[in-house]
């Protein structure tokens, strides 16, 4: 099976790679197994030097890595540069803080000396998506490497050049070969690899379907997992909100990365009293977004990453319209070359429509109207997902009280949901479990070992 790099702006194939044979995979897994002990015994300052150097490499060639992202999955170039910079920030962050978070924790007990030692698990299999092809991988790898784990990356099949670039960056930064390897394998090969005794834990960012498969395989093999899956984040606008600010913030939250983000706002829950006024502002701002070649500096909406994803999104939109939803703006694929879909807003979405219950992974938003704040909360929680949530209100205390009641792993008041290395990231319900980032992410893939000495 070929791993294809296709430019979504024009549909042209950039490069093809053959997936590895079983023998090729075995060679690399033996190499990784041989690197485990030496990396675990490496002083943490030495690990930190590698990550700091990786940050230097990323910042020193931002344009090259950003262009690679844009050509492989269509991210507007300004957002791609920001992604590269964020990878460098993440490397520096863990290089600075990991030692303190991994330090032995002394505990008073009946022993002369007792403590908790945080020790690496071994080799982490990271199964990563295409929508943030550098950031998602570094978000998983940086804390795992600092904790003393080795990492093998199974990246999405449509971003093979980004996958290989990550390995090259880390090796250039001084990482011994075998400590981090990109595996050029299929999803089926990765599924089977989970049972390999040389894999000690698995982290996946991806769809709910993929998460269920990985969790089942890892459970059967008794391997630790962290899953960051889909989201259908509510964006709640209360009657007292600053509507101009909430509209501009809502457009940024929905249409970042051409709407292809698990933490993008997808369901806009509006109090009836301000719904029409908000939709007018929201639609006007969305219509003004510049759609086009993602390599242009002024482009805000690029193509969707794959043609099949655009087809799926349009089927969800058509289903809603056929069942009574109203298209406020957009709603039809852009003609011509490339996998473009315009910013789309659907009003009057109701239960029974696919758009109500499914994740919309592209530039389409749905509007749900709420009678009051309690009804807004009911609508916000009426989903199997639970990743992020936003509440817009002039009363910050009121917003915090409401966002605490929304079933989600992330809650933001008057701001769009985002990831930040300083704060834990992850979801509840069918959005997954476990946490990435902050100290919580670092400690997901270590053993908290009790040491008791008389």
Which residues form the catalytic set?
228, 262
Q: What are the residues whose beta carbons fall under 8 Å from the beta carbon of 220, sequence distance 6 or more?
A: 195
- Alpha-carbon distances of 318 from 244, 315, 354, rounded to whole Å: 29, 5, 9
Residue 198: half-sphere exposure toward Cβ, Cα within 13 Å: 21
Reduced to 3 states (helix: H, G, I; strand: E, B; else coil), residue 434 is: coil
Q: How far apart are CA 383 and CA 367, in angstroms?
A: 14
- Alpha-carbon distances of 434 from 205, 232, 257, 260, 381, rounded to whole Å: 11, 18, 24, 22, 20
Reduced to 3 states (helix: H, G, I; strand: E, B; else coil), residue 236 is: strand
Helix, strand, coil % in the chain, rounded to nearest 5: 45, 20, 35
Contact at 8 Å (CB) between 454 and 111?
Answer: yes
Q: What is the DSSP letter of 324?
A: T
Q: Which residues of 355-386 are buried (b: 16+ CB within 10 A; e: fewer)?
A: bbebbbbbbbbbbbbbeebeebbebbebbebb
List, in sequence order, the alpha helices (H) in 61-132: 62-73, 77-102
Contact at 8 Å (CB) between 325 and 319?
Answer: no
Question: Which tokens go with 126?
Answer: 């990271």
Identify the helix (H) or strand (E) that includes residue 220. helix 208-220
- Alpha-carbon distances of 365 from 240, 308, 383, rounded to whole Å: 22, 19, 15
* CA 232 to the chain's CA centroid: 13
Contact at 8 Å (CB) between 343 and 363?
Answer: yes
105, 102, 108, 169: which is closest to 135 by C-alpha? 169
């Amino acid at each position: 099976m070929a791993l294809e790099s296709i430019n979504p702006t024009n549909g042209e194939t950039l490069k093809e790679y053959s997936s590895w044979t079983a023998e090729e995979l075995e060679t690399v897994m033996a190499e990784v197994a041989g690197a485990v002990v030496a990396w675990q015994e490496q002083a943490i300052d030495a690990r930190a030097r590698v990550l700091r150097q990786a940050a230097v490499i990323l910042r020193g060639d931002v344009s090259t890595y950003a262009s690679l992202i844009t050509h492989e999955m269509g991210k507007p170039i300004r957002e791609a540069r920001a992604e590269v910079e964020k990878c460098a920030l993440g490397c520096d962050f863990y290089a600075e803080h990991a030692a303190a978070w991994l330090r032995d924790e002394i505990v008073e007990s009946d022993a002369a000396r007792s403590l908790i030692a945080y020790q690496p698990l071994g080799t982490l299999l990271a199964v990563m998506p295409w929508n943030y092809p550098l950031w998602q991988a570094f978000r998983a790898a940086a804390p795992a490497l600092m904790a003393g784990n080795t990492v093998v990356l199974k990246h999405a099949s449509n971003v093979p050049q980004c996958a290989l670039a990550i390995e090259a960056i880390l090796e250039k930064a001084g990482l011994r070969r075998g400590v981090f390897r990109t595996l050029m394998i299929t999803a089926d090969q990765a599924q089977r690899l989970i049972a390999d005794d040389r894999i000690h834990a698995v982290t996946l960012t991806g769809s709910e379907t993929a998460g269920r498969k990985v969790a089942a395989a890892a459970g059967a093999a008794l391997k630790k997992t962290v899953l960051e899956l889909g989201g259908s984040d509510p964006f709640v606008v209360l009657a007292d909100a600053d509507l101009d600010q909430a509209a501009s913030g809502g457009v940024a939250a929905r249409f970042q990365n051409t709407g292809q983000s698990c933490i993008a706002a997808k369901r806009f829950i509006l109090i009836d009293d301000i719904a029409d006024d908000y939709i007018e502002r929201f639609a006007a701002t969305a219509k003004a977004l510049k759609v086009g070649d993602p390599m242009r500096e002024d482009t805000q909406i690029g193509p969707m990453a794959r043609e099949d994803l655009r087809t799926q999104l349009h089927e969800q939109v058509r289903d809603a319209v056929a069942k009574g939803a109203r298209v406020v703006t957009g709603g039809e694929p852009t003609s011509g070359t490339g996998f473009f879909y315009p910013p789309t807003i659907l009003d009057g979405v109701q239960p029974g429509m696919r758009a109500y219950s499914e994740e919309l992974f592209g530039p389409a938003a749905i509007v749900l109207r709420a009678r009051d704040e309690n009804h807004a909360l009911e609508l916000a929680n009426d989903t199997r997902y639970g990743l992020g949530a936003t509440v817009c209100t002039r009363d910050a205390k009121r917003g915090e009280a409401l966002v605490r009641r929304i079933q989600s792993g992330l809650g933001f008041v008057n701001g769009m949901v985002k990831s930040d290395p300083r704060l834990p990231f992850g979801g509840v319900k069918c959005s997954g479990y476990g946490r990435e980032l902050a100290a919580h992410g670092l400690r997901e893939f270590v053993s908290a070992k009790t040491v008791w000495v008389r």
